[in-house]
Structure 1
Amino acid sequence: MTLTDENTADQRALNPAYAFGTRRFGAVNWLGLWTLYVKEVRRFMKVVFQTVIAPVISTLLFLIVFTQAFGGVRPDVNGVPFVEFLAPGLTMMAVLTNSFTNSGSSIMISKVQGSIVDVLMPPLSAAELAIGFIAGAATRGFLVGAVTAATCAGYMAVYGTPLEIANIWAILYYAAAAGVMFGAIGAIGGIWADKFDQMAAVTNFVITPLTFLSGTFYSVANLPEPFRTISHYNPVYYLIDGFRSGFTGVAEAPFALSIAISATLAFVFAFACYLLIRSGYKIMD
Structure 2
Amino acid sequence: MSLTPYPQEGTRRFGAINWLGVWTLYVKEVRRFWKVMTQTVAAPVVTTLLYLAIFALAIGKFRPDVHGVPFIEFLAPGLVMMTMIQNAFANTSSSILISKIQGNIVDVLMPPLSAGELNVGIAMAGVTRGVVCGCVTAVAMLPFVHMGIAHLWAVVFYAVGASLMLALLGVLGGIWSEKFDHLQAVTNFVILPLTFLSGTFYSVTQLPDFAHELTKWNPVFYLIDGFRYGITGHADGSIATGIAIVLGVNAVLWTICHILFRTGYRLKA
Match of 1:249 in 2: 233
How far residue 24 of structure 1 moved from its aligned partner, in angstroms, is 1.2
Given candidates 12, 31, 46, the residue that maps to 1:57 is 46
**Amino acid paired to 2:52:** L
CA–CA distance in structure 2, aligned partners of residues 234 and 136 of structure 1: 25
Match of 2:68 in 1: 79
**Amino acid paired to 1:73:** F
**Amino acid paired to 2:235:** A
User: Residues 119-166 of structure 1, C-alpha deviation per residue, up to 9 Å, x if partnerless?
Assistant: 11110000000111100000000000000011111222xxxxx21110
Match of 1:265 in 2: 249
Match of 2:119 in 1: 130
SS in 2 for 1:211: helix
User: Is 1:91 equivalent to 2:80 in the alignment?
Assistant: yes
Match of 1:146 in 2: 135
CA–CA distance in structure 2, aligned partners of residues 126 and 266 of structure 1: 16
CA–CA distance in structure 2, aligned partners of residues 225 and 92 of structure 1: 25
User: Residues 168-206 of structure 1, C-alpha deviation per residue, up to 9 Å, x if partnerless?
Assistant: 110010010011110000001100100000000000000
Given candidates 159, 172, 190, the residue that maps to 2:174 is 190
CA–CA distance in structure 1, aligned partners of residues 210 and 248 of structure 2: 25
Q: In the TM superposition, what are the counterparts of 1:142-181 in structure 2 within 5 Å?
A: 142-156=131-145, 162-181=146-165
Q: In the TM superposition, what are the counterparts of 1:112-123 in structure 2 within 5 Å?
A: 112-123=101-112
CA–CA distance in structure 2, aligned partners of residues 243 and 208 of structure 1: 18
The alignment of Structure 1 onto Structure 2 pairs a total of residues equal to: 262
SS in 2 for 1:93: helix
**Amino acid paired to 1:260:** A
How far residue 67 of structure 1 moved from its aligned partner, in angstroms, is 0.9
Match of 1:17 in 2: none
**1:180 and 1:270 in contact (8 A); partners too:** no
**Amino acid paired to 2:207:** L
Please give the root-mean-square deviation of Cα atoms over the aligned residues, in Å. Answer: 1.0
CA–CA distance in structure 2, aligned partners of residues 125 and 104 of structure 1: 19
Unaligned runs of 5+ in 2: 1-7
Match of 2:4 in 1: none
How far residue 79 of structure 1 moved from its aligned partner, in angstroms, is 1.4
Moved more, 162-171 or 185-194: 162-171
**Amino acid paired to 1:83:** I
Match of 2:195 in 1: 211
CA–CA distance in structure 1, aligned partners of residues 130 and 164 of structure 2: 9
CA–CA distance in structure 2, aligned partners of residues 27 and 33 of structure 1: 12
SS in 1 for 2:26: helix
CA–CA distance in structure 2, aligned partners of residues 280 and 254 of structure 1: 38
Match of 2:5 in 1: none
CA–CA distance in structure 2, aligned partners of residues 225 and 44 of structure 1: 42
User: Is 1:281 equivalent to 2:265 in the alignment?
Assistant: yes
**Amino acid paired to 1:165:** I
SS in 2 for 1:100: helix
Q: Give the structure-2-normalised TM-score.
A: 0.96
How far residue 280 of structure 1 moved from its aligned partner, in angstroms, is 0.5
Q: Give the structure-1-normalised TM-score.
A: 0.90
CA–CA distance in structure 2, aligned partners of residues 163 and 95 of structure 1: 17
How far residue 225 of structure 1 moved from its aligned partner, in angstroms, is 2.1
Unaligned runs of 5+ in 1: 1-7, 13-21, 157-161
Match of 2:55 in 1: 66
CA–CA distance in structure 2, aligned partners of residues 179 and 254 of structure 1: 20
Match of 2:3 in 1: none
